[in-house]
Structure 1
Amino acid sequence: MSEDRIERDITIDASVERVWAVLTEPEHVGSWFGQGKPTPVDLRPGGIMVLDHGEYGVFRTTVVTVDPPRYFAYRWASAFPDQVADETNSTLVEFTLTPQGEGTHLRVMETGFAALDIPEDRSHAASHASHSEGWTEMVGNIQKYAQLDSE
Structure 2
Amino acid sequence: MSKDRIERDITIAAPVERVWAVLTEPEHVGKWFGQGEPTPVDLRPGGVMYLDHGEYGQFPTTIVKVDPPHFFSYRWASAFPGEVAVEGNSTLVEFTLTPEGDGTHLRVVETGFAALTIPEGRQATASYESHSGGWTGQVDNIRQYAEQLAA
Task: Give TM-score scaled by structure 2 length.
Answer: 0.99
Amino acid at match of 2:55: E
Amino acid at match of 2:51: L
5+ residue gaps, structure 1, are: none
How many angstroms apart in 2 are the aligned matches of 1:95 and 1:109? 7
How many angstroms apart in 2 are the aligned matches of 1:8 and 1:89? 22
| 1:56 partnered with 2:56 | yes
State the shift of 1:53 in Å.
0.2
Q: SS of 1:134's equivalent? A: helix
State the shift of 1:150 in Å.
4.6
How many angstroms apart in 2 are the aligned matches of 1:34 and 1:128? 20
* TM-superposition CA deviations, 1:96-151 (whole Å, max 9, x none): 00000000000000000000000000000000000000000000000000001255
* TM-superposition CA deviations, 1:14-70 (whole Å, max 9, x none): 000000000000000000000000000000000000000001100000000000000
Indicate the residue corresponding to 1:80 in structure 2: 80
1:19-34 to 2 correspondences below 5 Å:
19-34=19-34
How many angstroms apart in 1 are the aligned matches of 2:34 and 2:84? 18
5+ residue gaps, structure 2, are: none
Indicate the residue corresponding to 1:68 in structure 2: 68
Q: SS of 1:124's equivalent? A: helix
Q: SS of 2:109's equivalent? A: strand
How many angstroms apart in 2 are the aligned matches of 1:146 and 1:130? 24
* TM-superposition CA deviations, 1:74-117 (whole Å, max 9, x none): 00000000000000100000000000000000000000000000
Amino acid at match of 2:77: A
1:114-133 to 2 correspondences below 5 Å:
114-133=114-133
Indicate the residue corresponding to 1:3 in structure 2: 3
Aligned residues of 1:30 and 1:39 also touching (Cα < 8 A): yes
How many angstroms apart in 1 are the aligned matches of 2:106 and 2:2? 21
Amino acid at match of 1:115: A
Aligned residues of 1:15 and 1:150 also touching (Cα < 8 A): no
How many angstroms apart in 1 are the aligned matches of 2:50 and 2:93? 14
How many angstroms apart in 2 are the aligned matches of 1:20 and 1:28? 10
RMSD: 0.7
Indicate the residue corresponding to 2:40 in structure 1: 40
How many angstroms apart in 1 are the aligned matches of 2:118 and 2:90? 10
Indicate the residue corresponding to 1:13 in structure 2: 13
Aligned residues of 1:10 and 1:139 also touching (Cα < 8 A): yes
